[in-house]
């Protein structure tokens, strides 16, 4: 690496370390308020016990089909294909499209690393685009400048549960002949102009990691309305087995299946999805109301025409708050309140340092100022009141 590149990397490391340092230590006490935890109060246990009692613990059990059907129909499409994570769902979706060497895919610069990695696993090149300062989603005004003759697709994410501007994204995709694959990992149940996320674009991927609005512990799903794609995804998920002969492979598939045990939990969760989504929304309404008069804290924006589901309730600590984000997070941790800092943008990640030549000022500002507060669906109003009081008292 030449010295100019060395300087750039050092500078990037400095900027990244302003965003997320080591996590503040959460005191060793039983009464902490975790940043998130699942609510497993429905039929999850009963369905898991049915798997145990019948010996159906692999992916070949009835709960897998039931969960796929229920969740995909909820999203407004006909097919769901479960996977063992949200990352493998995205990888599989892109593999099914035949994404390969040198293909470029537009992604937001402010996202979880999985969005970029799913492209890279296949030899493609993630092309980050900066995000909007209010919704924290990919900025449609900045996409066209990044499109080349190698661009194949756009992957929007619905950041922290706020839907991306799907109409504008679709019109750009149509103009340049690109596919849209939604990374809906964070947005179960969110709506854009009355339609659920997951029903836009060619395919969409979801995550069911334990902190997601509904969970299977670890897990994911691709949803699509296209039967041919759904069949291909199913084949690729399962080693690329052919119908005609067992152990006979014409395509290089993956081993990305969800187990019946996970799907049993997923189905139990799905039965309560309306309640779990509403819990997140109620949290957000109360947080925003109570935080409104604390200057220096910016609360999340909600665009008209969307139903945001507030997977995580994020705030920005502005310079006039008086103490830094890290100091505020430490004060919350001292009172037993767990928080998480926002993403470090893709271009500042050591594995994507070749993207450093470009600039992503909004993503960097979010990374520097943002963190999220406890957001579980079963968080109680008195806990939110306590958290807001700790923030109020922390202001010098």
Ligand X SMILES: Cc1ncc(COP(=O)(O)O)c(C=O)c1O
Residues binding ligand X (CB under 6 A): 85-87, 111-112, 114-115, 157, 183, 185-186, 207, 209, 220
Decide if 210 contacts 78 (C-beta within 8 A). Answer: no
Q: Which is nearer to ligand X, 190 or 388 (CB)?
A: 190
* Cβ neighbours for 209, distance < 8 A, ≥ 6 positions apart: 85, 86, 215, 217, 218, 219
Distance in Å, CB of 36 to ligand X, minimum: 11
Distance in Å, CB of 280 to ligand X, minimum: 15
Distance in Å, CB of 372 to ligand X, minimum: 12
- Give the side-chain half-sphere CA count within 13 A for 221: 34
Q: Which is nearer to ligand X, 152 or 188 (CB)?
A: 188
Q: Which is nearer to ligand X, 158 or 388 (CB)?
A: 158
Distance in Å, CB of 111 to ligand X, minimum: 5
- Give the side-chain half-sphere CA count within 13 A for 26: 14
Q: Which is nearer to ligand X, 106 or 185 (CB)?
A: 185
Q: Which is nearer to ligand X, 112 or 131 (CB)?
A: 112
Q: Which is nearer to ligand X, 56 or 220 (CB)?
A: 220
Return the structure tokens found at 380. 């109680």
Task: Identify the DSSP state of 350.
Answer: G
Instruction: Give the whole-angstrom CA distance, residue 338 versus residue 33.
Output: 6
Cα–chain center distance at 267 = 20
Which own/partner pairs from 121-128 qualify as long-range (CB within 8 Å, at least 24 positions apart)?
A: 121/91, 122/91, 122/94, 122/95, 124/94, 124/99, 124/100, 124/152, 125/150, 126/346, 126/352, 127/151, 128/345, 128/346, 128/347, 128/355, 128/358, 128/360, 128/363
Distance in Å, CB of 91 to ligand X, minimum: 9
Residue whose CB is nearest to ligand X in the complex, by number: 86
Q: Which is nearer to ligand X, 157 or 373 (CB)?
A: 157
Distance in Å, CB of 393 to ligand X, minimum: 31
Q: Where are the beta strands (DSSP E) in the chain?
A: 79-83, 104-108, 125-129, 151-154, 179-183, 191-192, 195-196, 203-207, 220-224, 297-298, 306-307, 313-317, 340-341, 370-373
Q: Which is nearer to ligand X, 183 or 364 (CB)?
A: 183
φ, ψ dihedrals at 389, nearest 5° = -65, -40
Distance in Å, CB of 220 to ligand X, minimum: 5
Task: Identify the DSSP state of 246.
Answer: T
Pairing of strands 151-154, 179-183: parallel
Distance in Å, CB of 159 to ligand X, minimum: 8
Distance in Å, CB of 251 to ligand X, minimum: 23
Q: Which is nearer to ligand X, 196 or 291 (CB)?
A: 196
């Amino acid at each position: 690496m030449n010295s100019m590149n060395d300087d750039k990397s050092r500078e990037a490391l400095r900027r990244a370390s302003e965003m997320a340092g080591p996590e503040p230590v959460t005191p060793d006490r039983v009464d902490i308020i975790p940043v998130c935890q699942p609510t497993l109060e429905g039929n999850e246990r009963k369905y898991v016990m049915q798997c145990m009692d019948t010996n159906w613990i692999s992916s070949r059990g009835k709960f897998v089909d039931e969960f796929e059907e229920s969740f995909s129909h909820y999203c407004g499409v006909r097919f769901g294909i479960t996977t063992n994570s949200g990352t493998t769902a995205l990888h599989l979706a892109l593999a099914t499209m035949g994404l390969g060497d040198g293909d470029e895919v537009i992604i937001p610069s402010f996202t979880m690393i999985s969005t970029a990695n799913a492209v890279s696993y296949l030899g493609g090149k993630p092309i980050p685009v900066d995000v909007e300062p209010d919704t924290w989603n990919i900025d449609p005004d900045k996409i066209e400048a990044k499109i080349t003759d190698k661009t194949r697709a756009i992957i929007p994410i619905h950041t922290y549960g706020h839907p991306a501007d799907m109409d504008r994204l679709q019109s750009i995709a149509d103009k340049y002949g690109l596919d849209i694959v939604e990374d809906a990992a964070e947005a179960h149940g969110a709506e854009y102009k009355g339609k659920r996320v997951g029903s836009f674009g060619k395919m969409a991927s979801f995550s069911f990691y334990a902190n997601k609005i509904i969970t299977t512990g670890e897990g994911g799903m691709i949803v699509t309305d296209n039967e041919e794609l759904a069949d291909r995804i199913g084949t690729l998920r399962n080693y690329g087995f052919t119908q005609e002969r067992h152990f006979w492979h014409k395509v290089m598939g993956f081993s990305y299946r969800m187990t019946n045990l996970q799907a049993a939990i997923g189905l139990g969760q799905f039965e309560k999805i309306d309640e779990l989504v509403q819990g997140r929304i109620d949290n957000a309404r109360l947080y925003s109301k109570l935080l409104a008069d604390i200057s220096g804290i910016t609360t999340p924006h909600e665009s008209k025409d969307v139903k945001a589901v507030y997977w995580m309730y994020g705030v920005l600590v502005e310079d006039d708050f008086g103490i830094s984000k890290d100091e505020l997070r430490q004060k919350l941790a001292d009172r037993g309140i767990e928080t998480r800092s926002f993403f470090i943008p893709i271009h500042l990640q050591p594995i994507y340092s070749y993207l450093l030549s470009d600039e992503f000022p909004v993503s960097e500002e979010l990374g520097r100022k943002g963190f999220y507060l406890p957001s579980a669906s079963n968080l109680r109003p008195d806990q939110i009141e306590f958290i807001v009081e700790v923030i109020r008292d922390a202001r010098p």
